[in-house]
Structure 1
Amino acid sequence: MSKVVIIGAGAAGLLAGITAAQNGADVTILEKMRQPGKKMLITGKGRCNITNACEIPEFIKNLPGNGRFLNSALHRFTNDDIVIMLESNGLQTKVERGNRVFPVSDKAKDVVDTLTKIYTQAGGKLLTDTKALEILIKDGRAVGVKTINGVYPADAVILCAGGASYPGTGSDGGGAKLAAKAGHSIVPLKPSLVPLTSDYPYVDDLQGLSLRNVEATLFADGKKIASEFGEMLFTHFGVSGPIILSLSNAASKAIADGKEVELSLDLKPALSREKLDARIQRDFKEYSRKQLANGMKDLLPQRLIPVVCDMAYLDEEKFINQISREERLRLLDTLKGFMIPITGTRPLAEAIVTAGGVDVKEINPKTMESKLVPGLYFAGEVMDVDGYTGGFNLQAAFSSGYAAGLAAANLE
């Protein structure tokens, strides 16, 4: 019987543990927190966005951080497989907008409890309050884990200690340090899925304003690098919301490279310039005797009107029948290209996901075993793999955990 020791009881660790235990291994999970799955408990705003119901090729597109590395793992333990596992153990799921899969109960705790139950029923042992200090290596091979509570010998060690975002959940960058100590290269940790900061004065005026159906395009040194459509939010520090989080990885990389980053918002992406101009002219005709600010009420949220007017160098108190063609076209330009300079990202500790981690070039993509240290495996966010919101990161953790658990149980 293969003795497997797993560091971390998050999504990747629990799935690795379940798989290894169900395949005959003697499994122990070491978790430094007092309970398993603490980061899972806050995903999906406490509801746990388990996975996404899209096809696997679409999955890889939504994992811009080395998604192709997970191609084999995603095909071997799919989004359907995690749903079947949970539902066959009494946890019903549902699919919501954007193919996001949630528990019917809307409680993340139910997902963690179900996975923990499956693991312990398979014979796995879970030790909490047990922080790993070092992966023990003898004759070039992983042979166990040294912890604050003693040494745990192993035939295989699976490192599933997470990234460095939300350190209060235990995901504090410790996994990368353990891997580095074991001889692995670490791609520098950066925030991914994180709000963006801006010192633009208008951002303060719009704090709390939420926009739907807008297109946000990111520019680095004037060159378009990414674009997203959907919802966003102005905050006291800058911008947030689903489309901003999806753009944040690209923004983070560009800022780290010293590039000047700007966000351009198309406030009316459903309309071409010509159609939007016609729409503005229709509104201007209807409200020709009103002041500009009042004549734009059908076009924009009230709080956005004075900001748009100011950005377009327009006097909001000017009567619409006095607005020139040149002024109208400036308004059109601003509506299709509302520019916000981006100064940075919120701290890594506030990121939903960490970009960077153990370099995937040093990991076998089929088994998740280290190419440098036999008997050492990796799964989840500790690796340099990251994706967009929508259940993609959790599935990456489940699939890589499955691959590592199966290989560590010595079935391959």
Structure 2
Amino acid sequence: MKKNIAVIGGGAAGMMAAYAAAKSGAQVTLYEKNEKLGKKIYITGKGRCNVTNDCSRDVFFDQVVTNPKFLYSAFETFDNQAVMQLLEQAGCPLKTERGNRVFPVSDHSSDVIRALERLLQREGVKVHLHSSVKRVLEEDGQAVGLELSDGKRIQADSVIVATGGLSYPSTGSTGDGYRWAEATGHKVVACTPSLVPFVTEDTWCAKLQGLALKNVNLALYFDGKEIYQGFGEMLFTHFGVSGPLVLSASSYYSAQLAKWTKKNEKKKLSRPECRIELNLKPALTAEQLDKRLLREFDSQKNKNFGNAIDGLFPARLIPVMLELSGIEPEKKVHEITKQERQKFAALIRKLPMTVEKTGEFAEAIITRGGVYVKDVNPSTMESKRLPGLYFAGEVLDVDALTGGFNLQVAWSTGYLAGTSAAGSNKGE
């Protein structure tokens, strides 16, 4: 007799779980409270959907910030190559771009969603839209179904919760899964925004709003200790900084802040200092940069300092660098002392910014925190506390850096939850 499985959530993890369960022989019904499936997929990658990363297994786990070991079985069961093959077979051709990021050839995330919908239809998954779930039903220590917001009760042999986190609440990610997890006796690790812009105390950042810097190096220091360093692109905003480098750094900031808060929660201490040091010329050593400045200054020795550095930075950045250097813009280049020049070189290599906080969940790509992974069997995604209940995707306390890695977490955990719930994977 076919198993009857209810999947809650029609995002990446939910759709993959429903497909995998149905393909494994189960009768599957998917409940989504929105008017359509894949609402968050639609906006990922600025509407292009970075579906995964065509990297090695080791690289993938290096990019998982929180609880990478928990994902070993899930990734082995359904890895990035399997995702790419499945989507292409479902009629969504893919391409690989810089950093091994994988996108649909069309650059339209809607094509990824349509491919998944075709898979669900092919496997006979029943989809109920506008279906808000109130709670998970349990009986005799077993998950036995769910109750909809209108009071209707649905019986099921297994329930898969794939409701996402708290990021982008406009897509329906409002923390429902966390509430159900707690209500059924699971621990939920405190949630914070991750892969999110930084709000800085430095007012000059707002003057550079919209300016993107490429090929720079960003180091992040938390309580005096370097916790992240990366090379790439960042963006100035009206409130601080964003862009790929900053989003990655924010994952480490969120993780470090959670540890610090837990350690000091009873001491009522103010948040420790967090600062960014931006190297604008990472290809040059300190000695090479000094020689470059000497050449620039020597060729323009009779110019004002403010007019002699336009070859070093984007035009909009020059006034800020002048202000932070402490050197009068009208000062003649030949009057600049060695000490002033070296201080200016140090500014170029370590442009400082003070982080006040991260942005809110509405600006975050993912959520850090979620269902405590030690309450979940990593070989099946089934709850250790309530048999018949499974978790997949962002609702779990697992997160990774940008580049397609978080969607891969959703695909892998969703697939494993689906096959396990259907009974084709016993986690042995």
Matches of 1:154 and 1:277, distance apart in 2:
70
Q: Which runs of 4+ in 1 moved over 6 A?
A: none
Give the letter aligned to residue 220 of structure 2: L
Q: Secondary structure at the match of 2:276?
A: strand
Partner of 2:26: 25
Contact 1:369 / 1:376 at 8 angstroms: preserved in 2?
yes
Q: Which amino acid aligns with 2:16?
A: L
CA deviation after TM superposition for structure 1 residue 255, in Å: 4.7
What is the rounded CA distance, in whole Å, between the counterparts of 1:254 and 1:314 in structure 2? 37
Shift of 1:311: 1.6
After superposition, residues 3-402 of structure 1 pair within 5 angstroms as: 3-149=4-150, 150-255=152-257, 257=261, 258-402=271-415
Aligned-partner Cα distance in 2 for 1:286–1:5: 73
In structure 2, what residue type is equivalent to 1:3?
Answer: N
Counterparts of 2:140 and 2:218, CA distance in 1: 53
Cα distance in structure 2, aligned partners of 1:238 and 1:14:
36
Offset of residue 300 of structure 1: 1.0
- Give the C-alpha shift of residue 76 in structure 1: 1.2
State how far apart, in whole Å, the 2-side matches of 1:255 and 1:407 are.
35
Partner-residue secondary structure (3-state), 2:314 = coil
Q: TM-score, normalised by structure 1?
A: 0.98
SS in 2 for 1:329: helix
Match of 2:264 in 1: none
Structure 1 residue 66: Cα displacement: 1.3
Contact 1:355 1:384 in 2 (8 A): yes
SS at match of 2:329: coil
2-side partners of 1:93 and 1:166: how far apart? 26
CA contact (8 A) 1:14 1:115 kept: yes
Look up the SS of the partner of 1:303 in the other structure: helix
Deviation at 1:204, TM superposition (A): 2.1
Q: Deviations over 1:88-127 (max 9, x none)?
A: 1221000011100000111111101110110121011110
What is the identity percentage for the equivalent residue pairs of Structure 1 and Structure 2?
Answer: 46
Instruction: Give the number of equivalent residue pairs.
Output: 412
Deviation of 1:253 (Å): 4.0
CA RMSD across the alignment: 1.0
Aligned to 1:343, the other structure's residue is in SS state strand
Is residue 20–residue 405 contact of structure 1 (8 Å, CA) maintained in 2?
A: yes
Q: Separation in 2 of the partners of 1:332 and 1:93?
A: 44
Q: TM-score of the superposition, structure 2-length normalised? A: 0.95
Unmatched runs of 5 consecutive residues or more in structure 2: 262-270
Kept in 2, the 8 Å contact 1:255–1:261? The answer is no
The CA deviation at 1:141 is 0.6
Say whether the 8 Å CA contact 1:291–1:317 is kept in structure 2.
Answer: yes
Once the 2 structures are TM-superposed, how far is the Cα of residue 252 of structure 1 from its aligned partner? 2.9
Instruction: Give yes or no for contact 1:196–1:239 (8 Å, CA) kept in 2.
Output: yes
> Cα distance, 1:292 vs. partner?
1.1
In structure 2, C-alpha distance between the alignment counterparts of 1:204 and 1:404, rounded to whole Å: 45
What SS does structure 1 have at the residue aligned with 2:297?
helix
Tell me the amino acid that sits aligned with residue 334 of structure 1: L
SS of residue matched to 1:142: strand
Q: Quick one: distance in 1 between partners of 2:167 and 2:360?
A: 9
CA distance in structure 2 between the aligned counterparts of 1:307 and 1:230, rounded to whole angstroms: 21
Q: Distance in 2 between matches of 1:98 and 1:293?
A: 38
Q: Indicate the larger mover: 267-276 or 65-74.
A: 65-74
Amino acid at match of 1:342: V
On the 8 A contact 1:161/1:381 being kept in 2, the answer is yes
Partner secondary structure for residue 245 of structure 2:
helix
CA distance in 2, matches of 1:390, 1:78: 15
Structure 1 residue 60 displacement after superposition: 0.9
* Contact in 2 for aligned 1:255/1:344 (Cα 8 Å): no
Question: What's the CA shift for 1:376?
Answer: 0.5
Residue 266 of structure 2 aligns with which residue? none
SS of corresponding position for 2:383: coil
What's the offset of the Cα at 1:306?
2.3
Deviations 1:282-336 (A, max 9, x none): 1111111111122111111122222222222111221111111000001011001
1:216–1:264 contact (8 Å) kept in structure 2: yes
Determine the C-alpha separation between the residues in 2 that align with 1:408 and 1:51: 24
* CA displacement 1:198-236 (0-9 Å, x = unmatched): 121211222221111111111112211111111111111
Q: Is the partner of 2:39 in helix, strand or coil?
A: coil
Q: Would you say the 8 A contact 2:254–2:368 is kept in 1?
A: no
CA distance in 2 between partners of 1:218 and 1:392 (Å): 21
Residue 251 of structure 1 deviates from its aligned partner by: 2.2
Deviation at 1:254, TM superposition (A): 4.2
CA distance in 2, matches of 1:253, 1:89: 37
